[in-house]
Amino acid sequence: MHFSLDIPADVLYNVKEQRRSSGGGQNLGFVTGAFSFLLKPCPGCKTHRWCALMMHGKKDDRLKGKSDMLKREGEVRIPSGCAIAGVFARDGRNICGDTIVRSMTTMHDRSNGLGGGFAGYGIYPQYRDLYAFHVFYDGMSCREETERYLDKMFEVVNLSRIPIRKSPKITNEPLIWRYFVAPHHNRLADSQLDEKEYVARAVIKINTEFKGSYIFSCGKNMGVFKAVGFPEDVGEYYRLDEYEGYSWTAHGRYPTNTPGWWGGAHPFSLLDYSVVHNGEISSYDANRRFIEMYGYKCSLLTDTEVIAYIFDYLIRRKGFTPAEASTIVAAPFWSTIEKQDEARRHELEYLRCQYSSLLITGPFSILVGYEGGMLALNDRLKLRSMVAAEKGKTTYFASEECAIRMMEPDVDRIWSPKGGEAVIVELEGK
């Protein structure tokens, strides 16, 4: 016969501490003897364990709020936490946002409800030539101050609240507004900047200097939708079933070192670039110091933010192709470079030496969305999962195959990209 301890949690906690401090299992006899008057039969248990902690899957009222005290760091872990998914129609056909939301439901346990988000491309065809600003506000005074600045710097063609469905699963919402804007012609000319740099600087200024305001999406004909919550609930909250686009990415967050808050949810975006990421960037500090020398500001309390700025810097400002940019952030090992032909070896050596501070180390799988394309990339050792598939002219990516099967059960081809090997898909004719 096995027994369970009907002991108040605080007493049990003290007993376990005594047992731990005196070296382990030899104290079981002491515990059994000292509390024998509290022992009662525990039917159904077949293995010897502390049933008082398990309660056959049910928490006793006296354990509520206290049982977590018994857990120690490392006792509960979700390997490879965070989920990513993407779908891209190379022929430019429209895909309903519900498709990508549905894929995330199968990876629910890779998130913990502290962040979910999506990025869609081609979703604003009626405003395709305007920048779509999605903005979080802490309150009305923040909104009024930011709108005065937007009116000064841009022609605001349309503004409104972003449509949502109220949900008890999404709480503590900020004010969420949307603006379709174009730079004022005279101010743009006076700035002597190209249009995209003008917009990027205005966005960075608001996000770093306007307290309580945060522009989390600012590209053309695309938009980011994110919140604190599970991704499927976030998709329902933003009514993504009412949007259509040729490209979608998604993220379910399981934060490891940073807090769960609305701004810290993925995707992270600047202009047309958006990034979702599963992993941990051990090179963050070196990456951040380099990128901030060029006017970017990392202020969102997560390592992923810097990846979005790196791709914007390399592709938009330095003119590299997405393939070349991926070679910089996931540079081949020196042993691999040495095996290349002379021309390729010199090219890789130059990129690795010149942009060594933009090498991203640590485990990661990322999806980078941009105008007319999507890039999927693993770290060089492939320490995070990523699966790719094709069906006709549509390409799918996800942390797990099941998420792809939710979007397309009968794929033509499915494979696992190699570490450091970028998979790039773009619109036909681009």
| Residue 254 pLDDT level (bands cut at 50, 70, 90) | confident
Looking at the whole model, is its pTM more than 0.85?
no
Same domain? 263 vs 321: yes
By the 10 Å C-beta count (0-12 exposed, 13-18 middle, 19+ buried), 190 is classed as: exposed
In this predicted structure, which of 54-63, 303-312, 417-426 has the lowest mean pLDDT? 54-63
Could you list the residue range(s) of the whole structural domain that residue 57 is in? 3-68
Confidence at residue 264, expressed as pLDDT on a 0 to 100 scale: 87
Same domain? 244 vs 334: yes
Between CA 265 and CA 254 the distance in angstroms is: 10
Residue where a domain terminates, one of 29, 45, 68: 68
In the chain, the amino acid numbered 44 is G
Same domain? 7 vs 88: no
Annotation marks residue 298 as catalytic:
no
Q: Has residue 374 been placed in a domain?
A: yes
Q: Has residue 276 been placed in a domain?
A: yes
How large a percentage of the chain has pLDDT more than 70?
Answer: 80
> Mean pLDDT score of the chain, rounded to an integer?
85
Same domain? 235 vs 325: yes
Interval 46-65 mean pLDDT: 38
Same domain? 50 vs 89: no
Helices 322-329 and 342-354 meet at what angle, rounded to 10?
70
| Residue 130 pLDDT level (bands cut at 50, 70, 90) | very high
Q: Which of these is catalytic: 82, 142, 218, 298?
A: 82
Confidence at residue 257, expressed as pLDDT on a 0 to 100 scale: 65
Same domain? 63 vs 93: no
Between CA 48 and CA 63 the distance in angstroms is: 20
The beta strands (E) that lie in 21-63 are given as 39-41
| Residue 237 pLDDT level (bands cut at 50, 70, 90) | very high
**Largest alpha-carbon pair distance within the chain?**
86
61-87 pLDDT, tens digit each:
443 443 444 444 445 555 557 999 999
Q: Has residue 392 been placed in a domain?
A: yes
Using alpha carbons only, what angle is made at residue 214 by residues 205 and 257, rounded to the nearest 5 degrees? 105
| Residue 258 pLDDT level (bands cut at 50, 70, 90) | low
Q: Has residue 176 been placed in a domain?
A: no
Same domain? 308 vs 388: yes
Same domain? 34 vs 101: no
Between CA 375 and CA 312 the distance in angstroms is: 13
* Closest residue by Cα to residue 116 from 305, 308, 276: 276
Number of structural domains (the chain) is 2
The answer to whether 266 and 111 are in contact (CB under 8 A) is no
Query: Which one of 39-43, 262-266, 297-301, 319-323 scores highest in mean pLDDT?
Result: 319-323
Interval 107-134 mean pLDDT: 95
Between CA 97 and CA 171 the distance in angstroms is: 22
| Residue 256 pLDDT level (bands cut at 50, 70, 90) | low
